[in-house]
Amino acid sequence: MVCPSMTNAQLLSIDSMRTFVQREIEPLSSAMRYGAVSRNQLLELTQAVSEFGLPGMIIPKALGGHGGDWVTQGRLFEELAMGSVELAWQVLINIFASTLVLQQPALCERYLPDLIVGRSLFGITLNGSTSALHGRRKGAEWILDGRSDIVAANLHADVLICAVREHSQASSFLLLDRSVDRYEIRHYRDIEGRQQTCMQVTQACLPIERVLGDANADSPLTRHLFDVSKLHEAVVHLARGRSLLDASIARAKANTQFGRPIAAQHMVARQFAELATQLEAARLMCSQGFEQLDNGRLSGDTASRARLMAYETAKRIERRVSRIESHPSQTGWQHSDALLHLLSENIADDAQHIANALIGDLPGASDES
């Protein structure tokens, strides 16, 4: 499954990442899924991944990055997600962190080198309807207080980039450094018994240069982060569908029915071909989004459509595979869904917006949905 615009150098990079993931990441995927990997182990993995260009692929060479392109980064991210969604999302958070740190040149020298080589674990917090970080300016400092329940971070995160609410009409991204600022990240159980993550900070004093940009929901910076997150979420769904399809094909080739491999049966082979074609179509949609990023601006509509298409393709593969096999093998993907929605809008809302753009707001349409 190769995007037609891939160069030999890009293909070699992708193949190298695939081999690395199979040998080094997949054996640890279960431990990462259930949080059984220590901080030092996680840092070893992020440093190893950085050698393939994540998260420094699109950072200019003048700043220590690889000076590469988003299309290659997207394909490398897919290979990484095939081995571990949890590790892929930590790398993605570091990618977002590098984007935000670049907004404040005074912080680049301090934080960018460790980000590029995977020596730091970053996290991001957002404000919600029931929890928020609040800040007030005092001279040349910001004073931070509050709690956030929208936390995309490992418990051992070295640095947090937090959306901080100054008043009802203004929010900013600020950087908290564990080495100089006191904050707490911990797990808790919600009313349905699911494990969640929260972050608490009390009377933290931050210099004004720690402000990274406008965190309002409709700001260009926030919209960019959300759209890039959607595009990478689409890639995770691609990896999910590909993993399910590859495993099913392998089992169909190994198992027999009526004296011949299941994969040799015409109807089964045709279904595999259809699913592989749909998966490639979803990948091309994602590639279009990454090409837009290379050209300077990602369309939110493209990101939303890519995510919806990849999600529906992965679900279709899951349904078809369950019909082909009487007892399909269980995977760990169902445990990773909670990580996908922290930094972007709900996929159902996105689908409704796409539908409204196509058919308009019809009377009673919202009631049916």
Domain parsing of the chain, residue ranges? 8-120, 123-214, 220-360
Average pLDDT, the chain: 89
Share of the chain above pLDDT 70, in %: 92
Q: Is residue 255 scored above 90 in pLDDT?
A: no
Domains 123-214 and 220-360 share a fold: no
The number of angstroms, rounded, from the C-alpha of 369 to the middle of its chain's C-alpha atoms is: 27
Q: Which CATH superfamily is domain 220-360 in?
A: Butyryl-CoA Dehydrogenase, subunit A, domain 3 (1.20.140.10)
Lowest mean pLDDT among 54-58, 187-191, 207-211, 352-356: 352-356
Burial of 285 (0-12, 13-18, 19+ CB in 10 A): buried
Q: Give pLDDT tens digits for 75-89.
A: 999 999 999 999 999
In this structure, the dihedral spanned by the alpha carbons of residues 241, 242, 244 and 249, taken in order and rounded to 10 degrees, is 140
Averaged pLDDT, 233-261? 91
Cβ-contact 217, 300 below 8 angstroms: no
Q: Which CATH superfamily is domain 123-214 in?
A: Butyryl-CoA Dehydrogenase, subunit A, domain 2 (2.40.110.10)
132-138 and 159-167 strand pairing: parallel
Indicate whether this model's pTM tops 0.85: yes
CA atoms within 13 A on the CB side of 361: 2
pLDDT bracket for residue 132 (50, 70, 90):
confident
Q: Is residue 219 scored above 60 in pLDDT?
A: yes
CATH numeric code, 8-120: 1.10.540.10
Residues in the chain: 369
Q: Give pLDDT tens digits for 150-196.
A: 899 889 999 999 999 987 778 999 999 999 998 999 998 888 888 88
242, two tokens: 């590909």
264, two tokens: 């040799």
Q: Is residue 309 scored above 90 in pLDDT?
A: yes
Strand, helix or coil at 235? Answer: helix
**Residue scoring higher pLDDT (335 or 55):** 55
> H/E element holding 136?
strand 132-138
Q: Is residue 272 scored above 70 in pLDDT?
A: yes
pLDDT of residue 369: 46
